[in-house]
Structure 1
């Protein structure tokens, strides 16, 4: 029991996980407040006090929520999942995890301080020629290095399990955490390279110019797999945990593993679809990466098929009749299922919007409009975040030795519904305003005197309404988290891990042959980026080895 599939996460591992969760939900509070202020400013009904800049607020919102909250929650959740299914961490592994946490936190504090001092108002993407204080870039580097150590914990535990359970198939959720960790490590090499080799020396005055095309390409080499780094932990819950919660079996272990392998292969060499409107990249290479981007649709559809096959099989086992009779049999009074399910539904229009964003001609319609912001809020801020909330409802009391009470369960359902309503207003208005040409990342005040702004005003107000409802939902969420961590009744809350259906096919061993999958990943990356990078260096302005920035 000490090494495999423990019923309860070890208390020492739980402390490490909860440390990550505390930072994640503090980030939710800070980032949520920044988001509320943003939509109020864009509505034209509010002016920021104390000389706070709109873009300063926008940077804080993006960095704290999209980078800090997600990274800390994912690291904590994956460590908990591996500890639960592959055995308690060794003291060495736990020490590495705590070291990573401390390094990440120091980096987060450094970056946050620079943003609050208005020394790093460079937005979530921190594109050059926007320049931040060198301490901001040092902070980002520390966050990345700390996350590598957190990922190392997962990989070390997986390797240990494989050695001690020779020729056996690894626990499914551990396998998924390994895939996500490998993808994260490979992807963050890009952002680490641009920060350490370009942005940091430039901010320190060691170089006068940098190659902006290379910098943006390295960012999006990282930026798109970042989306899947957010998404795959939600898929872990959908594939492995939700079936157990509803009382069903996992439809197919092989399909789940193969879908994750496909995400690993096709999530990294696709960054150019974020750069379709940028010069300096040959159109043929953009086309190739758009094709690779569309291949990611396949594992998404596989996931949808697997999930709804699980739901239908469960409903039929409970006597459901007709085409959709199984739908009524699902546990609609259980927040652990209902809130993530809302996220699943939101991912349908979110995924459709992603196809539009990655399509060359349609991207030209919505590029750099607030449509893109609305898309992010459907995917990461709804599908992913609501699933994270659903995980928190049972994982936090599991780790703290408490229980999810009926009152907290009902409040959690209310919280999820409020989120859905608020996001419908806000994201829907963003999509509509984007189609009218409303720009991304801009405050209302900049366009207040322009006649075109009149078309956007109703949508800006709708965003403010939706943002206010979302902030109320955040307050409820924070209340629930505090209750589950400190005040809920003492007891035993289960960590649900689904079992594979008896009718499922045996899992092929090749799915855990990492030499093959990592090798193919590297080859795809080299194929997609080698010649474009050579072109960027070859066509840099003579004598500068980069573009003049100012």
Structure 2
């Protein structure tokens, strides 16, 4: 059955664009903070006006990894939901309430960081302590995102009620899966912020259970990666096929991969804590095994995408083994930017396997290798796909055209970004293998045998970071040109149809009680016993947490 797609009204477009404005302003501010970091680490630059390195490091991480991604994803998902299942006046009102709650929280948190009162990095590990408004702002961002979650849930529920027995639109299904993942994951960070960090920062308790706080953070921190990634997968599965003139290879396979991501992306936080004492090695091993399970939906996605590409090419008459590659629209930035992100996911995924492997993790743990890995995943795969989305989403919302000039400039921007990231992330990976630490402003250490080599790689990071910042400026210019300067005209909102040859989608894939139940069971299995053990064997100085839970 062919899905009927709705039009997006001007009221809905304003809601979505509000999220986009915040996202792209965050890109510029957070990118500048990242550029300054690479300059400082190169040993050739000192920050002016008494600005501290860890101040800009915290701002870079929070603004890009949390603010940019969250606002872009929620705005994009509102566009998908409005297009596929619609949005009522009440739902739009609740979406605006969520937006303003997140924005107020963002301004509180960012203001605290920029005034130097929250130099705690984006992971805000205790015993580093920030001013209370940092944590209060974070809590408001999470609460605002929960309002968006339940708005999306309501949108699909209303559609299902009006289409009893009907299969939900693929993109709406994907959005709800991602928001379920986000809601369940953020329960961890909300718990540690509300129960531990806010009372501690206000002086209500004298101490904090560090291991509990880190465990709750990484309960959230790893699925955060998939909250970033799944919207890119939405575009890969259901948007890119339309852009290349093809069809979705399999609706069922797409839904299955998202269900698997929901189940296996949350109960795996211990693989970020492999070197920490206080957690039984058995439970670390179990969570490492669960971590590797997400390789399955990743491989399903890779298979589905290349099958889609090949089917599209062969439908245009390219019959040789790899001739279909020539049929792909390499000169269309809506395709080019995301496909470069897809290719970057090959080394990014390989690095993720290394990070999660207990033995190999010992080599790169807490080195700048991990920073390089993050820049390949969220900084390349995810962000280039988001840029690719922007090239059709912004014109479709503003009633403007993607001109040939902007299309060409977008391809240049993608190349500039890729070159800058190759240099910077490559240097980070190599320096990490040599033992260069992450989170540090210092590129030299007394007695270190590889100081000169480290400094060389830090300079390479500064060069790559400079090229990346040029890419950021280009993208921000492109965004505002598409909003205000591009000529008026019709722009398509590309959503692909499922191939006629695809197998029917089994009804059980929409059994929400089943998948949510299995997810909760896996989380309880992976965390209940070790978490009780952590609390029972808390070291001296953790009375603050114990007093709070009595």
TM-score by length of 1: 0.97
Q: Which residue, out of 534, 537, 541, partners 2:535?
A: 537
* Equivalent residue number for residue 324 of structure 1: 322
Deviation of the 1:541 alpha carbon? 3.3
The answer to whether the 8 A contact 1:137-1:200 is kept is yes
Residue ranges of structure 2 left out of the alignment (5+ in a row): none
Deviation of the 1:154 alpha carbon? 1.0
Q: In the aligned structure 2, how far is the partner of 1:82 from the partner of 1:112?
A: 30
* Equivalent residue number for residue 85 of structure 2: 86
Q: In the aligned structure 2, how far is the partner of 1:7 from the partner of 1:514?
A: 25
Q: In the aligned structure 1, how far is the partner of 2:272 from the partner of 2:449?
A: 30
The answer to whether the 8 A contact 1:540-1:547 is kept is no
Matched, 1:70 2:76: no
Q: Which residue, out of 122, 125, 137, partners 2:123?
A: 125
Deviation of the 1:450 alpha carbon? 5.1
Map 1:354-373 → 2, pairs under 5 A: 354-373=352-371
Q: In the aligned structure 2, how far is the partner of 1:482 from the partner of 1:529?
A: 45
Superimposed CA distance per residue, residues 102-161 of structure 1 (whole angstroms, 9 cap, x where no aligned partner):
000000000011101110010010000000001110000000000001111211110011
* Equivalent residue number for residue 184 of structure 2: 186
| Root-mean-square deviation over aligned CA pairs | 1.4
Q: In the aligned structure 2, how far is the partner of 1:249 from the partner of 1:101?
A: 34
Q: In the aligned structure 1, how far is the partner of 2:516 from the partner of 2:336?
A: 36
The answer to whether the 8 A contact 2:196-2:545 is kept is no
* Equivalent residue number for residue 343 of structure 2: 345
The answer to whether the 8 A contact 1:394-1:404 is kept is yes
Q: In the aligned structure 1, how far is the partner of 2:279 from the partner of 2:72?
A: 35
Residue ranges of structure 1 left out of the alignment (5+ in a row): none
Q: In the aligned structure 1, how far is the partner of 2:169 from the partner of 2:335?
A: 22
Matched, 1:147 2:145: yes
Q: In the aligned structure 2, how far is the partner of 1:411 from the partner of 1:522?
A: 46
* Equivalent residue number for residue 208 of structure 1: 206
Q: Secondary structure at the match of 2:239?
A: helix
Q: Which residue, out of 397, 417, 436, partners 1:399?
A: 397
* Equivalent residue number for residue 13 of structure 2: 14
Deviation of the 1:375 alpha carbon? 0.3
* Equivalent residue number for residue 384 of structure 1: 382
Q: Secondary structure at the match of 1:489?
A: coil
Q: Secondary structure at the match of 1:444?
A: coil
Matched, 1:158 2:153: no
The answer to whether the 8 A contact 2:443-2:451 is kept is no
Map 1:390-429 → 2, pairs under 5 A: 390-429=388-427
Closer/same/farther in 2, CA of residues 419 and 72 from structure 1, 3 Å limit: same
* Equivalent residue number for residue 430 of structure 1: 428
Closer/same/farther in 2, CA of residues 543 and 427 from structure 1, 3 Å limit: closer
* Equivalent residue number for residue 505 of structure 1: 503
The answer to whether the 8 A contact 2:368-2:437 is kept is yes
* Equivalent residue number for residue 219 of structure 1: 217
* Equivalent residue number for residue 315 of structure 1: 313
* Equivalent residue number for residue 24 of structure 2: 25
Superimposed CA distance per residue, residues 297-355 of structure 1 (whole angstroms, 9 cap, x where no aligned partner):
00000000000000011111112132211111100110000000000000000000000
Q: Which stretch shifts more, 508-517 or 315-324?
A: 315-324
The answer to whether the 8 A contact 1:40-1:464 is kept is yes
Closer/same/farther in 2, CA of residues 20 and 449 from structure 1, 3 Å limit: farther
* Equivalent residue number for residue 472 of structure 2: 474
Closer/same/farther in 2, CA of residues 142 and 320 from structure 1, 3 Å limit: same
Q: In the aligned structure 2, how far is the partner of 1:542 from the partner of 1:416?
A: 52
Q: In the aligned structure 2, how far is the partner of 1:438 from the partner of 1:82?
A: 45
The answer to whether the 8 A contact 2:267-2:287 is kept is yes
Closer/same/farther in 2, CA of residues 503 and 208 from structure 1, 3 Å limit: same
Deviation of the 1:487 alpha carbon? 1.0
Deviation of the 1:547 alpha carbon? 9.0
Q: In the aligned structure 1, how far is the partner of 2:360 from the partner of 2:275?
A: 11
Deviation of the 1:491 alpha carbon? 0.8
Superimposed CA distance per residue, residues 239-261 of structure 1 (whole angstroms, 9 cap, x where no aligned partner):
00000000000000000000000
Superimposed CA distance per residue, residues 417-472 of structure 1 (whole angstroms, 9 cap, x where no aligned partner):
11110000000000000000000011136648855321211111111111011000
Superimposed CA distance per residue, residues 479-535 of structure 1 (whole angstroms, 9 cap, x where no aligned partner):
100010111011111000010000101111111111100000000000000001110
Deviation of the 1:11 alpha carbon? 1.4
Superimposed CA distance per residue, residues 244-295 of structure 1 (whole angstroms, 9 cap, x where no aligned partner):
0000000000000000000000000000000000000000000000000000
Q: Secondary structure at the match of 1:32?
A: helix
The answer to whether the 8 A contact 1:316-1:326 is kept is yes
Q: Which stretch shifts more, 532-541 or 225-234?
A: 532-541
Superimposed CA distance per residue, residues 70-96 of structure 1 (whole angstroms, 9 cap, x where no aligned partner):
000000000000101112x11100000
Closer/same/farther in 2, CA of residues 178 and 316 from structure 1, 3 Å limit: same
* Equivalent residue number for residue 48 of structure 1: 47
Closer/same/farther in 2, CA of residues 543 and 23 from structure 1, 3 Å limit: closer
Closer/same/farther in 2, CA of residues 261 and 544 from structure 1, 3 Å limit: closer
TM-score by length of 2: 0.97
The answer to whether the 8 A contact 2:6-2:82 is kept is no
* Equivalent residue number for residue 60 of structure 1: 59
